[in-house]
Structure 1
Amino acid sequence: MKKLLTLLTLGALCGCMPQNAPSSLSLSPVGYDSLAGWKQEDFTSLMPLLRDECHRLSQLPPETVLGGSEAITYGRHAADWSNACAALATASDARTYLETWFQPYEAGTEAFYTGYFEPQIPASLTRGGAYQTPVYGRPRDLVRAKATNGQMVSGRWVNGQFAPYYDRAAIDGGALAGQGLEIAWLKSPVDLFFLQIQGSGRLILPDGGQVRVSYDGRNGQAYVPLGRLLVQDGELPADGVSMDSIRNWLEAHPDRMMSVMERNPNYVFFRRDDGNLAQGPKGAFGMPLTAGRSVAVDRSVVPFAMPLWVETKLPYGAGQPVTWDHLVFAQDIGTDIKGAGRADLFTGWGATAQSVAGNLHAHGRMVLFLPRPPADSAAQ
């Protein structure tokens, strides 16, 4: 599997995601004049992003299914984008191009937004000193197979029988030691835990160099939100769960942190990624993620490549959340991103990106930009 496992988000950490997010999509056409902040958008920065999307779409066979609900009548297949992408080649103004070739449709439900980022973590490529926590590559005996119910599951073969793969406690206990799977070493198992939640990260080496590691599979065990466990145990208040509060609790209880983290049996494996560090990691659509422009969606509801207009508020600093109205692109998926109106915003890397992603859990509006069929765009 080469897809990036996107952030399970604050909602997954605390188990506080909306439980009633509709799985079906209802669309209503709206005008561009109904989009708050549309005229103030940075259209100049959108042109290279649109061209990159079209380049990616051109690499796919025309019959490729991009995903999406059946409510989306045009835009679910790569071929549906051919005319819009051909027109982009001679377009000079992103606003005129979008208004000509795309029809906005309001998602028929209130949107809910969370965020994810690419963490920067001190690490070493060799074991020694403070660097004692291994980052494991994908084990050779980890395989995928079809269960009796038709679902694909992860596990391993044991004496001819398919069995669940080792859980977090077993791996922490040395189940994979001695196999040469270590691709780096971290200072803390808490760092590893949060790296696994994000699905990719930048390892900052002792000499100042950087190495990116990206998702390369997981053990197939269920994900159990740590925040929810700590609330149930009376260790954190229900309204006080965040990435920071969970990390602070773990680091303040070194005698209990391993046993608490091991109550989440899910375990993520990585590969070294030699991609351009000036860009974000690749998302599931196969494109480098762009801070503030890439989102993870439920692919069964929203297809890859779809432009989305987002109206919400972002938590910058300690002040009140700031109004945020921008065009983004569906370029990733997330284990816990399910249902209509759900999206996970990629915020980039660094301290600000971490802060925004860790505290973003906001409602808002979502508008899908469906490519117009050729006849409609000609009339427009």
Structure 2
Amino acid sequence: MRRAIRAAVLTGAILAGTMAAAESDTTYEILSFGDLDGWATDDHSAALSVFLNTCGDMTDPDWVSLCALARDAGDARDFFELFFRPVMITGAPEDEEEGTEGLFTGYFEPEIAGSLERDPLYSHPIYRLPPEVGETEGPWLTRRDIVTGDTMLGRGLEIAWIADPVELFFLQVQGSGRIRLPDGHHLRVGYGGANGHPYRSIGKELVQRGIFTLHEVSAQVIKSWVRENPEEGAELLMHNPSYVFFREVNEVPAELGPLGAMNRSITTLRSIAVDPAYVPLGAPVWIEKQGAEPLNRLMIAQDTGSAIKGPQRADIFMGTGDEAGRRAGTMKDPGRLVVLLPIQRAYALLPESVL
């Protein structure tokens, strides 16, 4: 069964408490589970376990009820099919040229060598959030101001120090990571806030300069270019005025993933980052990723990202370490994502004339 509508200013009222109001040209299409390619062969129990990790933090009554039922669910596939309906959400954010087509990228938890003390090798600081950032209306200092100015100096805001400014930049892009200390211990850091400036892609900037084509750009390509061109590379990093601050999250056991936007550990290849203006955080999401390594799987929306904009954008969490980073860095694949919404919420998206 397929039913599509063009929403007027509908989403904010109908889905209050689950996601922010989407743009008025957003389209919703209710599908059947038979429309989901590979649905029958997925590991629904694994997805249910990840769903249970964060559903207890969802406060809307519909989700609270479903979370309670999930704790006693027998067959996981039956649970999802009985209480949810797949909804295809399409449309582009008002301030984005892209976003109508499905696009999947990957992210990971970097593991970077570092130190708790500054020395000639480890000289680039990972900063905590300055208290005045939260007290400021509008954007705070830019990346250039923070990196080249003296605002941060002598305040004890350094969590740790690392050797490579490019790794620090990509740690900020990922939003979390583990610092491998000289004694073999690890320090885990997570997102602690940002300076309020919009994220600008340095990959797109390299394409616009004619240095690479769109298909050539990846995280590894960018890192290599910046290192091979230190002066131009340092200036390229300043193209992105957004700057991310961190906090220590050592309460998370080493065997678990980093904390996502719901302040719970995320799970390799089961957690995704989404745009919460369209997809409720905590919701199950069916993905059909194409590309060199197709992936059809039930994920849980447990994270966000400044570059993730639109109803058909998702960042797949690939895990921790260099191998996860290599896989994440080359992922830029088409496909589609379908949100599983509680039945009553799915059908509330339909106008009365269709019901």
| CA shift in 2, pair 1:22/1:236, >3 Å | farther
User: Match of 1:249, as an amino acid?
Assistant: W
Question: Secondary structure at 1:283's aligned position in 2?
Answer: coil
For 1:45 and 1:31, locate their aligned partners in 2 and report how far apart those are by CA, in whole Å: 21
- 2:48 matched residue in structure 1: 47
- 1:182-261 to 2 correspondence within 5 Å? 182-261=158-237
For 2:244 and 2:51, locate their aligned partners in 1 and report how far apart those are by CA, in whole Å: 32
1:292 aligns with 2:269: yes
Aligned residues: 315
- 1:322 matched residue in structure 2: 293
- 1:271-310 to 2 correspondence within 5 Å? 271-274=247-250, 275-310=252-287
Q: Residues 341 and 366 of structure 1 are in contact (CA less than 8 Å); yes or no, is this contact kept in structure 2? A: yes
- 1:114 matched residue in structure 2: 105
User: Match of 1:188, as an amino acid?
Assistant: D
* CA drift at 1:124: 0.5
Deviations 1:210-235 (A, max 9, x none): 11111212222343322233333343
- 2:117 matched residue in structure 1: 126
- 1:38 matched residue in structure 2: 39
Question: Secondary structure at 1:259's aligned position in 2?
Answer: helix
| CA shift in 2, pair 1:256/1:31, >3 Å | closer
* CA drift at 1:144: 4.1
- 1:92 matched residue in structure 2: 74
| CA shift in 2, pair 1:180/1:357, >3 Å | same
Question: Secondary structure at 1:86's aligned position in 2?
Answer: helix
For 2:162 and 2:317, locate their aligned partners in 1 and report how far apart those are by CA, in whole Å: 24
For 1:136 and 1:82, locate their aligned partners in 2 and report how far apart those are by CA, in whole Å: 37
For 1:86 and 1:185, locate their aligned partners in 2 and report how far apart those are by CA, in whole Å: 44
* CA drift at 1:367: 1.7
Q: CA RMSD in A?
A: 2.4
Q: Residues 47 and 300 of structure 2 are in contact (CA less than 8 Å); yes or no, is this contact kept in structure 1? A: no
Runs of 4+ in 1 over 4 A off after TM superposition: 21-24
Deviations 1:119-152 (A, max 9, x none): 1111111112411111111123323444xxxxxx
User: Match of 2:160, as an amino acid?
Assistant: A
Q: Residues 297 and 343 of structure 1 are in contact (CA less than 8 Å); yes or no, is this contact kept in structure 2? A: yes
- 1:351 matched residue in structure 2: 322
For 2:267 and 2:67, locate their aligned partners in 1 and report how far apart those are by CA, in whole Å: 20
For 1:263 and 1:87, locate their aligned partners in 2 and report how far apart those are by CA, in whole Å: 48
Question: Secondary structure at 1:240's aligned position in 2?
Answer: coil
Question: Secondary structure at 2:230's aligned position in 1?
Answer: coil
* CA drift at 1:338: 1.4
- 2:12 matched residue in structure 1: none
* CA drift at 1:22: 7.7
| Greater CA drift, 165-174 or 175-184 | 165-174
- 2:139 matched residue in structure 1: 154
For 1:235 and 1:31, locate their aligned partners in 2 and report how far apart those are by CA, in whole Å: 45
| TM-score, normalised via structure 1 length | 0.76
- 2:97 matched residue in structure 1: none
Q: 2:312 aligns with which of 336, 341, 345?
A: 341
- 1:317 matched residue in structure 2: none
| CA shift in 2, pair 1:144/1:301, >3 Å | farther
Identity of aligned residues (%): 38
| CA shift in 2, pair 1:227/1:285, >3 Å | same
For 1:145 and 1:139, locate their aligned partners in 2 and report how far apart those are by CA, in whole Å: 11
Question: Secondary structure at 1:337's aligned position in 2?
Answer: coil
For 1:88 and 1:234, locate their aligned partners in 2 and report how far apart those are by CA, in whole Å: 51
User: Match of 1:297, as an amino acid?
Assistant: V
- 1:104 matched residue in structure 2: 86
| TM-score, normalised via structure 2 length | 0.81
For 1:305 and 1:32, locate their aligned partners in 2 and report how far apart those are by CA, in whole Å: 19
| Greater CA drift, 325-334 or 136-145 | 136-145
Q: Residues 85 and 343 of structure 2 are in contact (CA less than 8 Å); yes or no, is this contact kept in structure 1? A: yes
Question: Secondary structure at 2:207's aligned position in 1?
Answer: helix
User: Match of 1:313, as an amino acid?
Assistant: Q
| CA shift in 2, pair 1:212/1:23, >3 Å | farther
* CA drift at 1:45: 1.7
For 2:207 and 2:213, locate their aligned partners in 1 and report how far apart those are by CA, in whole Å: 6
User: Match of 2:84, as an amino acid?
Assistant: F
- 1:9 matched residue in structure 2: none
Deviations 1:172-200 (A, max 9, x none): 34431111111101011111111111111
* CA drift at 1:312: 1.1
- 1:159-174 to 2 correspondence within 5 Å? 165-174=141-150
1:28 aligns with 2:29: yes
User: Match of 2:129, as an amino acid?
Assistant: R
